[in-house]
Protein backbone atom coordinates (compact mmCIF):
# COMPACT_ATOMS: atom_id res chain seq x y z
CA UNK A 1 0.00 0.00 0.00
CA UNK A 2 2.54 2.61 -1.01
CA UNK A 3 0.07 5.49 -0.67
CA UNK A 4 -0.20 5.10 3.06
CA UNK A 5 3.47 4.22 3.47
CA UNK A 6 4.53 7.77 2.70
CA UNK A 7 2.31 10.06 4.60
CA UNK A 8 4.11 13.13 5.74
CA UNK A 9 4.24 16.80 6.34
CA UNK A 10 3.30 17.66 2.75
CA UNK A 11 -0.11 16.00 3.09
CA UNK A 12 -0.69 17.70 6.45
CA UNK A 13 0.30 21.09 5.09
CA UNK A 14 -1.92 20.63 2.07
CA UNK A 15 -4.94 19.84 4.24
CA UNK A 16 -4.15 22.75 6.53
CA UNK A 17 -3.98 25.18 3.63
CA UNK A 18 -7.57 24.19 2.81
CA UNK A 19 -8.70 24.35 6.43
CA UNK A 20 -7.13 27.76 6.86
CA UNK A 21 -9.22 29.24 4.07
CA UNK A 22 -12.35 27.36 5.15
CA UNK A 23 -13.24 26.60 1.54
CA UNK A 24 -13.78 22.87 1.45
CA UNK A 25 -15.77 23.05 -1.79
CA UNK A 26 -14.01 22.66 -5.12
CA UNK A 27 -16.01 25.20 -7.11
CA UNK A 28 -16.51 28.96 -6.87
CA UNK A 29 -16.04 31.04 -3.68
CA UNK A 30 -13.09 32.83 -5.26
CA UNK A 31 -12.66 35.31 -2.41
CA UNK A 32 -12.82 32.78 0.39
CA UNK A 33 -10.41 30.32 -1.19
CA UNK A 34 -7.52 32.77 -1.64
CA UNK A 35 -6.26 31.14 -4.80
CA UNK A 36 -6.27 27.59 -3.41
CA UNK A 37 -7.74 25.08 -5.86
CA UNK A 38 -6.68 21.60 -4.75
CA UNK A 39 -9.00 19.57 -6.99
CA UNK A 40 -7.93 21.57 -10.04
CA UNK A 41 -4.26 21.19 -9.16
CA UNK A 42 -4.74 17.46 -8.66
CA UNK A 43 -6.30 17.24 -12.10
CA UNK A 44 -3.39 19.13 -13.70
CA UNK A 45 -0.92 16.89 -11.94
CA UNK A 46 -2.70 13.76 -13.20
CA UNK A 47 -2.75 15.21 -16.74
CA UNK A 48 0.94 16.01 -16.53
CA UNK A 49 1.89 12.58 -15.19
CA UNK A 50 -0.29 10.49 -17.51
CA UNK A 51 -0.20 12.74 -20.55
CA UNK A 52 -4.02 12.84 -20.56
CA UNK A 53 -5.65 15.78 -22.29
CA UNK A 54 -8.25 16.08 -19.55
CA UNK A 55 -8.73 14.82 -16.01
CA UNK A 56 -11.61 15.23 -13.59
CA UNK A 57 -11.33 14.36 -9.90
CA UNK A 58 -14.28 12.63 -8.23
CA UNK A 59 -15.22 11.13 -4.87
CA UNK A 60 -13.94 7.57 -5.45
CA UNK A 61 -12.58 5.11 -7.96
CA UNK A 62 -16.05 3.61 -8.12
CA UNK A 63 -17.67 6.93 -9.07
CA UNK A 64 -14.80 7.44 -11.52
CA UNK A 65 -15.80 4.18 -13.24
CA UNK A 66 -19.46 5.28 -13.26
CA UNK A 67 -18.41 8.60 -14.73
CA UNK A 68 -16.22 6.89 -17.34
CA UNK A 69 -19.13 4.67 -18.40
CA UNK A 70 -21.57 7.58 -18.58
CA UNK A 71 -19.18 9.81 -20.52
CA UNK A 72 -18.51 6.96 -22.96
CA UNK A 73 -22.25 6.68 -23.55
CA UNK A 74 -22.73 3.29 -21.85
CA UNK A 75 -26.10 2.84 -20.21
CA UNK A 76 -29.44 1.06 -20.21
CA UNK A 77 -29.36 -2.34 -21.87
CA UNK A 78 -25.82 -2.12 -23.21
CA UNK A 79 -23.91 -5.40 -23.26
CA UNK A 80 -20.40 -4.84 -22.01
CA UNK A 81 -17.56 -7.36 -21.79
CA UNK A 82 -15.96 -7.48 -18.34
CA UNK A 83 -13.35 -9.61 -16.55
CA UNK A 84 -14.18 -12.11 -13.78
CA UNK A 85 -11.04 -10.97 -11.95
CA UNK A 86 -11.26 -7.35 -10.82
CA UNK A 87 -12.48 -5.38 -7.86
CA UNK A 88 -16.25 -5.77 -7.70
CA UNK A 89 -16.79 -2.01 -8.19
CA UNK A 90 -16.24 -2.53 -11.93
CA UNK A 91 -19.26 -4.78 -12.24
CA UNK A 92 -21.39 -2.76 -9.80
CA UNK A 93 -20.78 0.44 -11.77
CA UNK A 94 -21.93 -1.25 -14.96
CA UNK A 95 -25.03 -2.81 -13.39
CA UNK A 96 -26.06 0.45 -11.71
CA UNK A 97 -25.64 2.24 -15.04
CA UNK A 98 -28.20 -0.19 -16.49
CA UNK A 99 -25.61 -2.20 -18.40
CA UNK A 100 -25.45 -5.96 -18.84
CA UNK A 101 -22.12 -7.62 -17.96
CA UNK A 102 -20.71 -10.32 -20.22
CA UNK A 103 -17.84 -12.16 -18.57
CA UNK A 104 -14.83 -13.16 -20.66
CA UNK A 105 -11.56 -14.93 -19.92
CA UNK A 106 -8.51 -13.35 -18.35
CA UNK A 107 -5.13 -14.94 -19.00
CA UNK A 108 -1.65 -14.81 -17.49
CA UNK A 109 -1.59 -11.04 -18.06
CA UNK A 110 -4.25 -11.06 -15.26
CA UNK A 111 -6.40 -8.94 -17.57
CA UNK A 112 -8.97 -9.70 -20.27
CA UNK A 113 -7.25 -11.31 -23.24
CA UNK A 114 -7.96 -10.44 -26.86
CA UNK A 115 -8.91 -14.10 -27.42
CA UNK A 116 -11.25 -14.03 -24.44
CA UNK A 117 -12.98 -10.92 -25.75
CA UNK A 118 -13.40 -12.46 -29.22
CA UNK A 119 -14.94 -15.64 -27.78
CA UNK A 120 -17.90 -13.82 -26.21
CA UNK A 121 -18.42 -11.11 -28.83
CA UNK A 122 -21.89 -10.96 -30.37
CA UNK A 123 -23.69 -8.44 -32.55
CA UNK A 124 -25.11 -6.99 -29.30
CA UNK A 125 -21.73 -6.23 -27.73
CA UNK A 126 -21.37 -2.50 -27.32
CA UNK A 127 -18.25 -2.05 -25.25
CA UNK A 128 -15.38 -3.59 -23.33
CA UNK A 129 -14.76 -2.49 -19.76
CA UNK A 130 -11.12 -3.44 -19.46
CA UNK A 131 -9.45 -3.63 -16.05
CA UNK A 132 -5.68 -3.27 -15.75
CA UNK A 133 -5.15 -5.44 -12.70
CA UNK A 134 -2.45 -5.34 -10.07
CA UNK A 135 -0.45 -2.36 -11.28
CA UNK A 136 0.30 -3.21 -14.92
CA UNK A 137 -1.29 -2.91 -18.34
CA UNK A 138 -3.20 -5.49 -20.36
CA UNK A 139 -1.99 -6.67 -23.78
CA UNK A 140 -3.03 -3.46 -25.50
CA UNK A 141 -1.83 -4.11 -29.07
CA UNK A 142 -3.87 -7.30 -29.33
CA UNK A 143 -6.87 -5.82 -27.50
CA UNK A 144 -6.94 -2.63 -29.58
CA UNK A 145 -6.99 -4.72 -32.75
CA UNK A 146 -10.20 -6.41 -31.57
CA UNK A 147 -11.72 -3.11 -30.37
CA UNK A 148 -11.03 -1.37 -33.68
CA UNK A 149 -11.93 -4.26 -35.94
CA UNK A 150 -15.31 -4.73 -34.26
CA UNK A 151 -15.92 -1.04 -33.71
CA UNK A 152 -16.39 -1.40 -29.95
CA UNK A 153 -16.21 1.26 -27.26
CA UNK A 154 -13.34 0.76 -24.85
CA UNK A 155 -13.60 2.02 -21.26
CA UNK A 156 -10.65 1.38 -18.93
CA UNK A 157 -10.96 0.75 -15.23
CA UNK A 158 -7.39 1.51 -14.18
CA UNK A 159 -8.46 1.62 -10.52
CA UNK A 160 -5.29 -0.15 -9.45
CA UNK A 161 -2.96 0.82 -12.26
CA UNK A 162 -2.12 4.50 -11.89
CA UNK A 163 1.56 4.68 -12.81
CA UNK A 164 1.31 1.83 -15.33
CA UNK A 165 2.14 2.48 -18.98
CA UNK A 166 2.03 0.41 -22.15
CA UNK A 167 4.64 1.40 -24.70
CA UNK A 168 4.93 4.80 -23.00
CA UNK A 169 1.21 5.50 -23.02
CA UNK A 170 -0.61 5.65 -19.68
CA UNK A 171 -3.33 3.15 -18.98
CA UNK A 172 -6.70 4.89 -19.17
CA UNK A 173 -5.88 6.60 -22.46
CA UNK A 174 -6.36 3.73 -24.90
CA UNK A 175 -10.13 3.85 -24.78
CA UNK A 176 -12.71 6.60 -24.85
CA UNK A 177 -12.53 7.15 -21.09
CA UNK A 178 -10.59 5.83 -18.10
CA UNK A 179 -10.75 5.74 -14.31
CA UNK A 180 -8.25 5.68 -11.41
CA UNK A 181 -8.87 5.12 -7.71
CA UNK A 182 -7.30 7.04 -4.83
CA UNK A 183 -8.81 4.92 -2.05
CA UNK A 184 -6.88 3.86 1.05
CA UNK A 185 -5.28 0.81 -0.59
CA UNK A 186 -3.97 2.27 -3.81
CA UNK A 187 -0.56 3.53 -4.95
CA UNK A 188 -1.75 7.09 -4.26
CA UNK A 189 -4.46 7.72 -1.71
CA UNK A 190 -6.69 10.67 -0.94
CA UNK A 191 -8.48 8.76 1.81
CA UNK A 192 -11.27 8.43 -0.72
CA UNK A 193 -11.08 9.75 -4.25
CA UNK A 194 -10.84 8.94 -7.92
CA UNK A 195 -9.86 10.44 -11.25
CA UNK A 196 -11.53 10.32 -14.62
CA UNK A 197 -9.28 10.82 -17.66
CA UNK A 198 -9.76 11.18 -21.39
CA UNK A 199 -8.22 12.81 -24.44
CA UNK A 200 -11.61 13.77 -25.82
CA UNK A 201 -12.89 17.23 -24.88
CA UNK A 202 -16.55 16.37 -25.37
CA UNK A 203 -16.29 13.31 -23.09
CA UNK A 204 -14.50 15.44 -20.52
CA UNK A 205 -17.24 18.07 -20.53
CA UNK A 206 -19.85 15.36 -20.11
CA UNK A 207 -17.92 13.85 -17.20
CA UNK A 208 -17.40 17.24 -15.58
CA UNK A 209 -21.14 17.89 -15.65
CA UNK A 210 -22.26 14.33 -14.90
CA UNK A 211 -20.19 14.23 -11.70
CA UNK A 212 -21.82 17.41 -10.37
CA UNK A 213 -25.59 17.33 -10.95
CA UNK A 214 -25.12 18.32 -14.57
CA UNK A 215 -23.58 21.73 -13.85
CA UNK A 216 -21.76 23.29 -16.79
CA UNK A 217 -19.32 25.13 -14.49
CA UNK A 218 -19.39 28.26 -16.59
CA UNK A 219 -19.24 31.58 -14.77
CA UNK A 220 -18.94 32.17 -11.06
CA UNK A 221 -22.57 31.98 -9.96
CA UNK A 222 -23.32 28.34 -9.27
CA UNK A 223 -27.03 29.01 -8.78
CA UNK A 224 -27.36 30.36 -12.31
CA UNK A 225 -25.42 27.67 -14.17
CA UNK A 226 -26.97 25.62 -16.95
CA UNK A 227 -27.34 21.84 -16.79
CA UNK A 228 -26.55 20.19 -20.11
CA UNK A 229 -27.22 16.69 -18.69
CA UNK A 230 -28.70 14.94 -15.69
CA UNK A 231 -25.95 14.12 -13.23
CA UNK A 232 -25.34 13.36 -9.61
CA UNK A 233 -22.98 14.33 -6.81
CA UNK A 234 -19.67 12.51 -7.34
CA UNK A 235 -17.62 15.53 -6.28
CA UNK A 236 -14.33 15.31 -4.43
CA UNK A 237 -13.80 17.65 -1.48
CA UNK A 238 -10.85 20.03 -1.33
CA UNK A 239 -9.57 18.17 1.76
CA UNK A 240 -9.34 14.88 -0.09
CA UNK A 241 -7.94 16.55 -3.18
CA UNK A 242 -5.22 18.19 -1.07
CA UNK A 243 -4.02 14.77 0.10
CA UNK A 244 -4.32 13.26 -3.39
CA UNK A 245 -2.28 16.09 -4.86
CA UNK A 246 0.67 15.54 -2.52
CA UNK A 247 0.47 11.82 -3.17
CA UNK A 248 0.63 12.43 -6.93
CA UNK A 249 3.81 14.40 -6.41
CA UNK A 250 5.36 11.42 -4.63
CA UNK A 251 4.34 8.97 -7.32
CA UNK A 252 7.50 8.85 -9.48
CA UNK A 253 9.63 8.13 -6.41
CA UNK A 254 7.17 5.51 -5.13
CA UNK A 255 7.29 3.73 -8.50
CA UNK A 256 11.09 3.80 -8.49
CA UNK A 257 11.22 2.20 -5.03
CA UNK A 258 8.48 -0.31 -5.87
CA UNK A 259 10.40 -1.48 -8.92
CA UNK A 260 13.70 -1.68 -7.05
CA UNK A 261 12.22 -3.77 -4.23
CA UNK A 262 10.17 -5.90 -6.57
CA UNK A 263 13.23 -6.76 -8.64
CA UNK A 264 15.17 -7.83 -5.55
CA UNK A 265 12.43 -10.26 -4.54
CA UNK A 266 11.70 -11.46 -8.06
CA UNK A 267 15.38 -12.23 -8.67
CA UNK A 268 15.48 -14.31 -5.51
CA UNK A 269 12.29 -16.24 -6.32
CA UNK A 270 13.28 -16.78 -9.96
CA UNK A 271 15.87 -19.31 -8.90
CA UNK A 272 13.14 -21.64 -7.61
CA UNK A 273 12.00 -24.45 -9.89
CA UNK A 274 8.33 -24.52 -10.88
CA UNK A 275 7.64 -20.85 -10.29
CA UNK A 276 6.58 -18.51 -13.07
CA UNK A 277 5.51 -14.88 -13.18
CA UNK A 278 2.67 -12.79 -14.51
CA UNK A 279 3.00 -12.18 -18.22
CA UNK A 280 3.55 -8.46 -18.73
CA UNK A 281 3.11 -7.35 -22.34
CA UNK A 282 5.25 -4.28 -21.54
CA UNK A 283 7.44 -4.87 -18.47
CA UNK A 284 8.95 -1.37 -18.83
CA UNK A 285 5.59 0.14 -17.98
CA UNK A 286 5.06 -1.69 -14.68
CA UNK A 287 4.18 0.43 -11.63
CA UNK A 288 5.64 -2.26 -9.38
CA UNK A 289 2.80 -2.42 -6.87
CA UNK A 290 2.60 -6.22 -6.95
CA UNK A 291 4.82 -9.19 -7.62
CA UNK A 292 2.44 -11.72 -9.15
CA UNK A 293 3.66 -15.29 -9.40
CA UNK A 294 2.23 -18.65 -10.33
CA UNK A 295 2.67 -21.96 -8.59
CA UNK A 296 2.33 -25.07 -10.78
CA UNK A 297 -1.31 -25.51 -9.73
CA UNK A 298 -4.09 -24.42 -7.40
CA UNK A 299 -3.25 -26.96 -4.69
CA UNK A 300 0.40 -25.89 -4.49
CA UNK A 301 -0.64 -22.23 -4.30
CA UNK A 302 -2.94 -23.01 -1.35
CA UNK A 303 -0.15 -24.95 0.36
CA UNK A 304 2.32 -22.12 -0.17
CA UNK A 305 -0.15 -19.66 1.33
CA UNK A 306 -0.53 -21.82 4.46
CA UNK A 307 3.24 -22.21 4.69
CA UNK A 308 3.54 -18.39 4.53
CA UNK A 309 1.05 -18.14 7.40
CA UNK A 310 3.02 -20.69 9.46
CA UNK A 311 6.28 -18.85 8.79
CA UNK A 312 4.79 -15.47 9.64
CA UNK A 313 5.10 -14.04 6.12
CA UNK A 314 2.43 -11.42 5.47
CA UNK A 315 1.64 -9.31 2.46
CA UNK A 316 0.68 -12.09 0.02
CA UNK A 317 -2.81 -12.38 -1.38
CA UNK A 318 -4.60 -15.41 -2.76
CA UNK A 319 -7.29 -13.74 -4.85
CA UNK A 320 -8.93 -17.01 -5.92
CA UNK A 321 -10.84 -17.29 -2.65
CA UNK A 322 -10.97 -13.54 -1.93
CA UNK A 323 -14.56 -12.34 -1.55
CA UNK A 324 -14.26 -9.22 -3.68
CA UNK A 325 -11.76 -9.93 -6.42
CA UNK A 326 -12.80 -13.14 -8.14
CA UNK A 327 -16.14 -14.20 -9.54
CA UNK A 328 -16.40 -17.50 -7.64
CA UNK A 329 -17.42 -15.64 -4.50
CA UNK A 330 -19.77 -13.11 -6.09
CA UNK A 331 -22.99 -14.88 -5.11
CA UNK A 332 -25.00 -11.69 -4.59
CA UNK A 333 -24.12 -10.67 -8.11
CA UNK A 334 -24.91 -14.03 -9.69
CA UNK A 335 -28.25 -14.00 -7.85
CA UNK A 336 -28.76 -10.40 -9.05
CA UNK A 337 -29.67 -9.28 -5.55
CA UNK A 338 -30.11 -5.55 -5.50
CA UNK A 339 -31.83 -2.97 -3.33
CA UNK A 340 -34.21 -2.09 -6.14
CA UNK A 341 -34.79 -3.49 -9.65
CA UNK A 342 -32.08 -2.80 -12.21
CA UNK A 343 -32.19 -2.87 -16.00
CA UNK A 344 -30.82 -6.42 -15.95
CA UNK A 345 -33.92 -7.64 -14.06
CA UNK A 346 -36.16 -6.39 -16.84
CA UNK A 347 -33.97 -7.19 -19.80
CA UNK A 348 -32.49 -10.47 -18.60
CA UNK A 349 -28.83 -11.35 -18.16
CA UNK A 350 -26.89 -12.06 -21.35
CA UNK A 351 -25.19 -15.07 -19.71
CA UNK A 352 -26.14 -17.65 -17.10
CA UNK A 353 -23.92 -16.28 -14.33
CA UNK A 354 -24.31 -19.44 -12.24
CA UNK A 355 -22.89 -21.61 -15.02
CA UNK A 356 -20.18 -19.54 -16.60
CA UNK A 357 -17.40 -21.43 -18.28
CA UNK A 358 -14.15 -19.64 -17.67
CA UNK A 359 -11.62 -22.48 -17.44
CA UNK A 360 -8.58 -20.34 -18.23
CA UNK A 361 -9.46 -17.72 -15.61
CA UNK A 362 -10.13 -20.46 -13.03
CA UNK A 363 -6.78 -22.05 -13.71
CA UNK A 364 -4.77 -18.82 -13.84
CA UNK A 365 -6.26 -17.19 -10.73
CA UNK A 366 -6.21 -20.53 -8.88
CA UNK A 367 -2.43 -20.78 -9.12
CA UNK A 368 -1.77 -17.06 -8.60
CA UNK A 369 -0.18 -15.50 -5.52
CA UNK A 370 0.17 -11.70 -5.34
CA UNK A 371 2.70 -10.03 -3.10
CA UNK A 372 1.98 -6.37 -2.33
CA UNK A 373 5.35 -4.63 -2.69
CA UNK A 374 6.32 -2.19 0.03
CA UNK A 375 8.06 0.84 -1.39
CA UNK A 376 9.30 1.76 2.09
CA UNK A 377 11.45 -1.37 2.46
CA UNK A 378 15.18 -0.77 2.40
CA UNK A 379 17.15 -2.97 0.01
CA UNK A 380 18.21 -5.09 2.99
CA UNK A 381 14.63 -5.51 4.17
CA UNK A 382 13.47 -6.49 0.70
CA UNK A 383 16.30 -9.01 0.40
CA UNK A 384 15.49 -10.44 3.79
CA UNK A 385 11.81 -10.72 2.94
CA UNK A 386 12.56 -12.35 -0.41
CA UNK A 387 14.84 -14.89 1.19
CA UNK A 388 12.21 -15.79 3.77
CA UNK A 389 9.62 -16.22 1.03
CA UNK A 390 12.00 -18.38 -0.93
CA UNK A 391 12.69 -20.69 2.03
CA UNK A 392 8.98 -20.98 2.72
CA UNK A 393 8.09 -21.82 -0.89
CA UNK A 394 10.96 -24.37 -1.09
CA UNK A 395 9.46 -26.29 1.84
CA UNK A 396 6.33 -26.82 -0.24
CA UNK A 397 7.97 -27.37 -3.62
CA UNK A 398 10.84 -29.74 -2.67
C1 LIG B 1 -10.15 0.08 -6.03
C2 LIG B 1 -10.78 -0.21 -7.33
C3 LIG B 1 -11.98 0.40 -7.73
C4 LIG B 1 -12.80 1.24 -6.82
O5 LIG B 1 -12.15 2.29 -6.25
P6 LIG B 1 -12.70 2.96 -4.89
O7 LIG B 1 -11.89 4.21 -4.82
O8 LIG B 1 -12.41 2.01 -3.77
O9 LIG B 1 -14.14 3.22 -5.07
C10 LIG B 1 -12.46 0.14 -8.99
N11 LIG B 1 -11.83 -0.69 -9.82
C12 LIG B 1 -10.69 -1.31 -9.48
C13 LIG B 1 -10.03 -2.22 -10.45
C14 LIG B 1 -10.15 -1.11 -8.21
O15 LIG B 1 -9.05 -1.78 -7.85
Q: From ligand 1's centre to the CA of 182, what distance in Å?
A: 8
Nearest to 190 by CA among 397, 18, 333, 383: 18
CA angle, 56 then 60 then 65, to 5°: 70
Stretch 346-374: mean pLDDT:
98
58/146 same-domain check? yes
392/284 same-domain check? yes
User: What percent of the chain clears pLDDT 70, i.e. is strictly above it?
Assistant: 100
Task: For the chain, state the CA radius of gyration.
Answer: 21
Q: From ligand 1's centre to the CA of 186, what distance in Å?
A: 8
Could you tell me the pTM of the whole model? 0.97
Q: What's the rounded Cα separation, in Å, for the pair 88 and 129? A: 13
- Residues touching ligand 1 (Cβ under 6 Å) are 60-62, 65, 86-87, 89-90, 131, 157, 159-160, 181, 183, 194
255/182 same-domain check? no
Question: What per-residue confidence (pLDDT) applies to 398?
Answer: 74
Q: Above 80 in pLDDT, residue 235?
A: yes
Question: What per-residue confidence (pLDDT) applies to 1?
Answer: 65
Nearest to 98 by CA among 269, 346, 324: 346
- Asked which of 250, 276, 304 is the last residue of a domain, the reply is 250
Residues in the chain: 398
Q: What share of the chain is helix, strand, coil (3-state, %, to 5)?
A: 45, 15, 40
Q: Above 70 in pLDDT, residue 92?
A: yes
Q: What's the rounded Cα separation, in Å, for the pair 134 and 382? A: 19
Q: Is residue 304 part of a domain?
A: yes
- Asked which of 224, 250, 276 is the last residue of a domain, the reply is 250
What pLDDT digit, counting tens, does each position of 238-247 carry?
999 999 999 9
What pLDDT digit, counting tens, does each position of 173-223 carry?
999 999 999 999 999 999 999 999 999 999 999 999 999 999 999 988 999
Q: From ligand 1's centre to the CA of 332, what distance in Å?
A: 18
**186 tagged catalytic:** yes
Q: Is residue 180 part of a domain?
A: yes
Bridge partner list, 45: none
Question: What per-residue confidence (pLDDT) applies to 4?
Answer: 82
- Asked which of 227, 250, 273 is the last residue of a domain, the reply is 250
165/295 same-domain check? no
Question: What per-residue confidence (pLDDT) applies to 220?
Answer: 86
Q: What's the rounded Cα separation, in Å, for the pair 201 and 126? A: 22
- Contact residues for 47 (Cβ-Cβ < 8 A; gap 6+): 53, 54, 55, 197
141/219 same-domain check? yes
Give the domain range for residue 287. 251-321+361-397
Stretch 368-374: mean pLDDT:
98
Amino acid sequence: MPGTEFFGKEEKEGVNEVLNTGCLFRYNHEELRQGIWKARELESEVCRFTGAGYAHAVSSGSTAVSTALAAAGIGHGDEVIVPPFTYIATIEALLLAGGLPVFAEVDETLCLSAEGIKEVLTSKTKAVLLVHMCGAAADMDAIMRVIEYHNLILVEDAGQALGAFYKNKSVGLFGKTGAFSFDFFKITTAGEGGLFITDDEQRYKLADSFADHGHDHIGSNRGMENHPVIGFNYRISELHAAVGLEQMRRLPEVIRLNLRNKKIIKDLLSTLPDISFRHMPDPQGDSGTFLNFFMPDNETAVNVMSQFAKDGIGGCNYWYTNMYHFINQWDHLKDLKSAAPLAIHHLGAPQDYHNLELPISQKVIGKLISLGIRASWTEEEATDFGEKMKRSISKVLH
